[in-house]
Structures are given as C-alpha cells and as structure tokens.
Amino acid sequence: MNRWSGIFKIQLHPDSTTYYRIAASLLLSRSTKGLAVPSGNVIFFTGDRVEGTNNDVIRRLSDPHNIAEIMVSKFGESVNTFVIEASIFNGPFAVYRDFIPSVNEYGEPTTPYDAAGFPASTSLVSLLSKFLAQVKKEHFIPWS
C-alpha cells in the first residue's frame, strides 16, 4: 500500500496567531474502484513536553512523525494516523485552548465543560479538514 506522510502547521482560525503542528501518515492505495478507503482514522494528541533530556528514546517518542508511523505499525496499514501537537504550551504543559471553550492563561478550564455546539469536535473537524486541504493542494493527491 502506498502511504503519504508529512507534517504541516495549520492555523485553526484565520485571525489566530497560533498554529497546530500536525503529522500524518495517510493511505493512498488505489483499488479497482479508485482510491482505497481507509478502515479507520487514529488521532493522537501529544501531551506535555520533556525538555533538556539527551535520551534518544524520549526524543524518538516525542517526534510526531515517528508517533504517526508507530501508530500505523500498531493499528495496521489500512488506517490513517494524525498526530496533533498543542498550539501553545504553558512551560512544559500542553494547552489545547481551541478545544475547551473557557480556559485561563495557564490552560486550565475556568468553567465546567459545556458540550453545547460540540466545540471540541467542531475544532477537530475544522483542523483536520484544513490539514487535508493543504495536503491535497501541495502534493496533488487526487482525492475528490
């Protein structure tokens, strides 16, 4: 099976100054009826950073491209994998501000999570849609 893998920085909102770094490994095989359909999508949100270590294992397991490839090896060649890094960090701590409606400057929720309007799902769909549009635009992948 053919796969495309790469990393892009994606801006969730046009007026935002923050970008999400997303790595992916995508199925691009052709079948007799066109492009093969993946059996599933695996989405992994990275967590906090571990800085100042010279440990090769930690360095490899912190690399989003490597994480995407490890997930393919675990879930199978027929899946698409996406690794999303936080757009901002509070020191070493990952802050996913766009997925939680109300957070303070440290990334901590200021109110109980309100799922009305599905803010986390909406942000995720928008982010991955923009990522796939960028892949298609820059690499001429023939998706319809």
Q: What is the pTM of this model?
A: 0.85
Report how far residue 114's alpha carbon sits from residue 120's, in angstroms, rounded to the nearest whole number.
Answer: 10
**59 sits in which H/E element:** helix 56-62
Average pLDDT, rounded, for the chain:
86
Q: Domain for residue 93, yes or no?
A: yes
Report how far residue 1's alpha carbon sits from residue 36's, in angstroms, rounded to the nearest whole number.
Answer: 9
Total number of domains in the chain: 1
Quick check: 29 pLDDT over 70?
A: no
Q: What average pLDDT does this structure show over 117-122?
A: 89
Q: Domain for residue 44, yes or no?
A: yes
Q: Domain for residue 104, yes or no?
A: yes
**Of 33, 24, 21, nearest in space to 3 by CA:** 24
Q: What average pLDDT does this structure show over 39-57?
A: 85
Report how far residue 28's alpha carbon sits from residue 35's, in angstroms, rounded to the nearest whole number.
Answer: 7
Per-residue pLDDT, 83: 97
Q: Domain for residue 105, yes or no?
A: yes
Q: Give the alpha-carbon dihedral of 136, 24, 43, 76, to 10 degrees.
A: 110
Domain of residue 102 covers 3-139
Report how far residue 69's alpha carbon sits from residue 58's, in angstroms, rounded to the nearest whole number.
Answer: 16
Q: Domain for residue 144, yes or no?
A: no
Per-residue pLDDT, 13: 86
> Which distant-in-sequence residues (6+ apart) come within 8 Å of 50 by Cβ?
58, 62, 92
Q: Domain for residue 106, yes or no?
A: yes
Weakest mean pLDDT among 71-80, 120-129, 130-139: 130-139
**99 sits in which H/E element:** none
